[in-house]
Structures are given as structure tokens and as C-alpha cells.
Amino acid sequence: MSQIINYIGQNVSIGKNVKIWHFTYVGDNAIIGDNVMIGSLCHIDYNVKIGNNVKIEGGTYIPPLTIIGNNVFIGPATTFTNDPYPPSKKMIGVVVEDDVIICARSVIKAGVRLGRGCVVAMGSVVTKDVQPNTVVIGTPAKPAYDRTTYNKKKISWESSSSILERSSSQHNL
């Protein structure tokens, strides 16, 4: 029988109902809130603070000094940085405010603040602060529209039938 190994550092605070998947590293002095899910192959470094109701998908890197608020979604293979001029002796973290969505394979530059309710589109490279309730897209990431428009697009997508649903219903004829 194989053994699943995670590393949890010293003086780590883990809240209630936290799920940490396979092969994940959590560094010393990290603080993880309640109802957090951390996917496989994540690296949460030392002195990171994660709020409540956060979902971090697999393959994500979160370096020291990063602060993540409540109700945040971080897509797979997202990379946060903490050194704007590597390799440097001076580090600065990223601040992610509440209700932020960061989509897959995004890169967030050291020192950036992601404002409450903003959305970072997949594959974006964020080099500057993102204003609250703003959707940013691209490399470098630029504002595209607001969170209200994003929510409407999401609802429209969720209410439409998908290719799988259409294909499945055609096979049941």
C-alpha cells in the first residue's frame, strides 16, 4: 500500500474543515482559515496567511508574505511571486482581498494587490494592482469589464446546455 506524503511545517495554524490533497507543502508559520481546500502538488510557503472559504487548485505556488482573503478561488497552476527583482534580499508579498477569482495559469507579480471581487482571467500576467470588481485579461493583464458583467456571463454559460449535455441527450433518443 502506498503512502501519501504532505509536509506541514512548524507553528502552522490550520482551521476547521480544511482539506489538503496529495504531495502538498505548507511552510512554517503559515495560517490557514476554516473551510479551505488545497489541491495536490501545491506549495504554500512560510509566513503565508489564507482566509476562510478558500479553494486553491493543484500545482499552485504561493510564496512567503502572501496574504489571501476570504472566499477566494485560485485556479490550477497559478504562480504568485514575492521578488520583483530576482534574486533579491528584499521580498514583498501579494495581497488578495476577499471574493477574488484567479483563473488557471495566472502569474501575479510581487507587491500587487488584487482588489475585492476582481477576476483574473486564465493565463493572465498581473503586473499592477487590480481595482475592486474589475476583470483583467492578458499579458500584461488589462481591465476588460466589471464583475457584474462577469457574473452575467457566468450565469448565461451555466444555464446553456453544454456539448456534453447535447451529446448525451442525442444518445438517449
pLDDT of residue 167: 55
Q: What is the mean pLDDT of residues 29-39?
A: 98
Segments in the chain forming alpha helices (H): 147-159, 163-171
| Predicted TM-score of the model (pTM) | 0.90
Q: What is the mean pLDDT of residues 42-62?
A: 98
pLDDT per residue as tens digits for the range 7-19: 999 999 999 999 9
pLDDT at 118 over 50: yes
pLDDT per residue as tens digits for the range 90-100: 999 999 999 99
Query: Quick one: cell of 104?
Result: 488557471
In the chain, the domains with their CATH numbers are 7-146 (2.160.10.10)
**pLDDT, mean over the chain:** 93
Q: What is the mean pLDDT of residues 135-157?
A: 96
pLDDT at 168 over 60: no
Give the helix/strand (H/E) hosting 145.
strand 142-146
Kind of pairing between the strands at 73-74 and 125-126: unpaired
Residue with more model confidence, 105 or 157? 105
Of 15, 22, 24, 23, residue with least CA distance to 68? 15
pLDDT of residue 161: 78
Q: What is the mean pLDDT of residues 69-90?
A: 95
How far is Cα 66 from Cα 51, in angstroms, rounded to an integer?
11
The percent of residues above 70 in pLDDT, for the chain, comes to 91
pLDDT band at 54 (very low <50, low <70, confident <90, very high): very high
How far is Cα 23 from Cα 19, in angstroms, rounded to an integer?
12
Are 142 and 136 within 8 A, CB to CB? yes
Kind of pairing between the strands at 107-108 and 31-32: unpaired
pLDDT at 74 over 70: yes
How far is Cα 95 from Cα 49, in angstroms, rounded to an integer?
10
Kind of pairing between the strands at 134-137 and 142-146: antiparallel
Helix and strand totals (H; E) in the chain = 2, 21
Q: Check residue 65 and give left, alpha or beta (phi > 0: left; psi -120 to 50: alpha).
A: left
